[in-house]
Amino acid sequence: MKIFHTVNGLRDDLIQDRLQGLKIGFVPTMGNLHDGHLALLHQANQTNDIVVCSIFVNALQFGLNEDWDKYPRTYESDCEKLRAAGCDYLFHPDDVEMYPNGLDTQSRVICPTMTDVLCGASRPGHFEGVTTVVSKLFNIVQPDEAIFGIKDYQQLAVIRRMAEDLCMPIQITSAPIHREADGLAMSSRNRYITEDERPQATVLKESLDWIASQIRSGNRAFSELEAEATVQIERAGFAVDYVTCSNSKTLDLAADDDSEITVLGAMFTESARLIDNVSISEE
């Protein structure tokens, strides 16, 4: 695996790969890699000749009271995992390389829809940071395909919309949620869940699955289903950020005639914010 810390260094090698007609796949991450990230690498290897992974903890997508400075940096172990997963190139820039003119004057990429609801409602500015850094990474790597996990469903939907709106010649591919043995969606923040909380933490997935089963059975009383799922989560001892039935593409509130619906939820443990989702297709 080749490691690059500069834009020009990575580009020089990728230019040669393109001249040889090699297909380039890209997996952007913030590091602290777990099996969910590695599953994205394995998927990228199935459809591409060269796989590029980036590790960059993007300050632009963290709010004032969020954990940017506490976000785990595990570079050495990440490199070992990437080598074992068959990653060809690692792009690991510092803040100056990614934002040479500073964050305050950085040009921004703004998606005007889907970014002020769900996670965007409780994390103002988060998705502006995501779309800005992902567009920069896309411009740097210029991949044929980029792979994102479905766990961050809103992020996936926003990036797909951004790529479509900006005519980016990149295939945005989704990868299934990678789960722990008990069903909890894998996340770097799972480490913050206490031992006492962990047995109940699966209530988020269970409540969303319950809503999905109700919808599949013909129940379209979305508000009532969301309210009941909220009660289920609160009874388990957690605070609910949101539980919402949404149109899978637009993330608007689900309508009775929608055939593609995604049920999304977020909750707070004592020290972590967990998200999950389940999609229903009637086509």
**Looking at the annotation, which residues are catalytic?**
37
Which residue from 34, 81, 27 is spatially nearest to 51, judged by alpha carbons?
27
3-class DSSP assignment, residue 265? strand
How many residues would you count in the chain? Answer: 283
Residues forming beta bridges with residue 265, ordered by sequence position: 243, 276
- Beta carbons of 261 and 279 less than 8 angstroms apart: yes
3-class state of residue 175 by DSSP: strand
What is the rounded distance in angstroms from the CA atom of residue 122 to the CA atom of residue 110? 17
- Measured distance CA(75)–CA(32) in Å, rounded: 7
Q: What is the dihedral of CA 103, 108, 109, 113, to 10 degrees?
A: 100
What's the start-to-end Cα distance of the chain, in Å?
Answer: 42
Q: CA 74, CA 80: separation in Å to the nearest integer?
A: 10
Tracing tokens 């409602």 back to the chain, one arrives at 121
Residue 233 CA to residue 237 CA, distance in Å, equals 7
- Asked if residue 148 lies in contact with residue 87, where contact means CB atoms within 8 angstroms, the answer is no
